Amino acid sequence: MEKEIKFSLLYRDMWQSSGKYVPRVDQLKRIAPVIIDMGCFSRIETNGGAFEQVNLLYGENPNKAVREWTKPFNEAGIQTHMLERALNGIRMYPVPADVRRLMFQVKKAQGVDIARSFCGLNDHRNLELSIKYAKEAGMISQVALSITHSQIHTVDYYMGVVDKAVEYGTDEICLKDMAGVGRPVTLGKLVKRIKDRHPHLVVQYHGHSGPGFSVASMLEVARAGADYIDVAMEPLSWGMVHPDIITIQAMLKDAGFKVPEINMKAYMKARALNQEFINEFLGYFINPRNRYMSSLLVQVGLPGGMMGSMMADLKNVQQGLNQTLQAQGKEELSEDDLLVKLFDEVQEIWPKLGNPPLVTPFSQYVKNIALLNVMQEIQGKPKFQMIDNNAWDMILGKAGKLPGELAPEVIELARQQGKEFYQGVPQDNYPDQLEAYKKEMKENGWDFGPDNEELFEFAMHERQYRDYKSGAAKQRFQDELNKLRKEQESGTGKKGVQKDPNKKDITAPTTGKIVFSINYYVHERTIETGSHVNEGDRICYIESNNTFNEIKSEYEGEVSDIFVEHGEFVSQGDVLVRLK
């Protein structure tokens, strides 16, 4: 009898792996019936991750968006699933337990069937509450393994996480191959081991296309017993996204699997709608580099979606580094030279930092440390001297147990700086907070919403929710969109301030929003004209693709000009601050 393989459309992820935003709720409602008419999907990834932050940034109500988006799939008998980051919930930093618990209750009430939960460190302690809360809420609990490739990340290693997840009561396992670097044969062996040891578990595979392994991986996991395969569709499939449903369906059919047929008329209509959304506004936020695949990612293991921001980082520092090399009488570096140096540095420091799987947010931490190390080395300075607080939390164990061992030099650096390693359960660091949010909402006259969904949104995304309620988010988004449209028409991408090679200019490495604090609702600048800035001091953050990029000064000097304000959108290369 033919083995049946079912498909899940990664509609949320394929947009967010391409650019900054996802379609608006009115667009989601238009395309949902067409996706259903395609007739080939048993599951749809509808929300989670950064989906609801994006709605807030639009000025849209995310709860309405989730309910409206899941409803047609619920009625058609297609399961919906969300992505959540365990300790971090659906944001980038840790969440109190009571807010995490409410999240699953709200999502189930909104029509989401499956909670796909992953810990970026594969620490089963962070997954235990996700499983418990999902089951309590009546959702299907699916634990996702953060797949990477190293001597540490073996089949036995991953089975240790699987066994604990089964002990906690998970219903399903997903192989979340977020960088697409999992080796096909090894992934097949892992699926077979899971099926042999826990035959009741449903297994789903999720793999990005970036380095080129994912099609082979899908065939291997299917042969090993996987039940569901995650796919994308044009015009967003391939590149740094996921393989297209047409290719995977044809491959598996040829291999003898039972797979659903695709209504190609509906496929082409959905394809046209996606392109319409891109043409209307989403294309302004999609980096063209994300349309390409790169085998350079095979060794470095970084997620393909980071390529755009990495290249922006390199371009931003290239001129300054080449000036340093010129002064030293050395040959200048091309952008490709710098890229190779960055990849080499990531490969070197990754095991020194305990081999964290390179998935959000840990991929950003490792990349940032590597880039700063490259800069320090060229300038003749010691490495590991510029590590931000979030990266230190990872190193110290506050986010979970690292898979590997820290290098002695990193441990010694922590000792020199008086930092303490944490051995406890990460969730214990973050006490319950719902009562405080309830109190404030009552004082503001804000309704808790059906099933406490507005309370949840405020507690999960406090800063973005305030901006949504005030109307500031909607205005900022429109300003950002208008700016990008104007820049495209004029062929420029600057604030009008020209970078002066004779000045100490601090520029934006990427497009995004200026933020002065990621933990508090703070508008005040942390520096002023006349302030003294040391090399390595934080200037601000740039929020881009729902990631807070810490902007540090490369120089020491006195602030002569500040060209940005809190909440302002900037483009890559814009001059933020000038020192003298």
Angle at 205 between CA 143 and CA 130, to 5 degrees: 10
Segment 166-177 shows an average pLDDT of 98
Type of residue numbered 319: Q
- Least Cα distance to 99 among 361, 444, 455, 446 occurs for 455
- Least Cα distance to 468 among 9, 56, 28, 14 occurs for 56
For residues 38 and 456, what is the distance between their CA atoms, to the nearest angstrom? 34
Q: In the numeric block, which tokens belong to residue 475?
A: 């205005």
Segment 448-468 shows an average pLDDT of 95
Phi, psi of 546, rounded to the nearest 5 degrees: 65, 25
For residues 363 and 385, what is the distance between their CA atoms, to the nearest angstrom? 19
User: 557 forms bridges with which residues in the sheet?
Assistant: 533
Name the DSSP letter for residue 286. B
Place of tokens 């989601």: 28
The pLDDT mean for the chain works out to 90
For residues 464 and 441, what is the distance between their CA atoms, to the nearest angstrom? 15
Segment 371-393 shows an average pLDDT of 87
Q: In the numeric block, which tokens belong to residue 459?
A: 């507690």
Q: In the numeric block, which tokens belong to residue 287?
A: 């980096």
For residues 203 and 173, what is the distance between their CA atoms, to the nearest angstrom? 5
pLDDT, residue 343, reads 86
pLDDT, residue 307, reads 57
Q: 292 falls in which pLDDT band (50, 70, 90)? A: confident
Task: Answer yes or no: are the C-beta atoms of 141 and 169 closer than 8 Å.
Answer: yes
For residues 415 and 409, what is the distance between their CA atoms, to the nearest angstrom? 10
In tens, the pLDDT along 296-311 reads: 788 778 776 565 556 6
Q: What structural domains does the chain harbor?
A: 6-286 (3.20.20.70), 294-429 (no CATH), 492-579 (2.40.50.100)
In tens, the pLDDT along 72-131 reads: 999 999 999 999 999 999 998 899 999 999 999 999 999 999 999 999 999 999 999 999
pLDDT at 499 over 70: no
Tell whether the torsion through CA atoms of 310, 315, 321 and 326 is positive or negative. Answer: positive
For residues 73 and 59, what is the distance between their CA atoms, to the nearest angstrom? 25
Angle at 135 between CA 129 and CA 138, to 5 degrees: 140
- 532 — alpha (psi -120 to 50), left (phi > 0) or beta? beta
Q: At what angle do helices 472-490 and 462-470 cross, to 10 degrees?
A: 90
pLDDT at 547 over 80: no
Alpha-carbon torsion angle 162, 164, 165, 168, nearest 10: 160
Task: Answer yes or no: are the C-beta atoms of 240 and 307 closer than 8 Å.
Answer: yes
> DSSP 3-state assignment of 44?
strand
pLDDT, residue 560, reads 92
pLDDT, residue 493, reads 47
Segment 489-514 shows an average pLDDT of 70
What stretch of H or E contains 315?
helix 307-327
- 26 — alpha (psi -120 to 50), left (phi > 0) or beta? alpha
Phi, psi of 141, rounded to the nearest 5 degrees: -95, 120
pLDDT, residue 137, reads 98
Q: Which of 26-40, 50-64, 404-418 has the lowest mean pLDDT?
A: 50-64
Q: 4 falls in which pLDDT band (50, 70, 90)? A: very high
Q: In the numeric block, which tokens belong to residue 534?
A: 């040391």
Higher confidence at residue 569 or residue 140? Answer: 140
Phi, psi of 92, rounded to the nearest 5 degrees: -95, -5
Alpha-carbon torsion angle 429, 434, 436, 440, nearest 10: 140
Q: 378 falls in which pLDDT band (50, 70, 90)? A: confident
Phi, psi of 414, rounded to the nearest 5 degrees: -60, -45
Phi, psi of 180, rounded to the nearest 5 degrees: 70, 20
43-48 vs 6-9, strand pairing mode? parallel
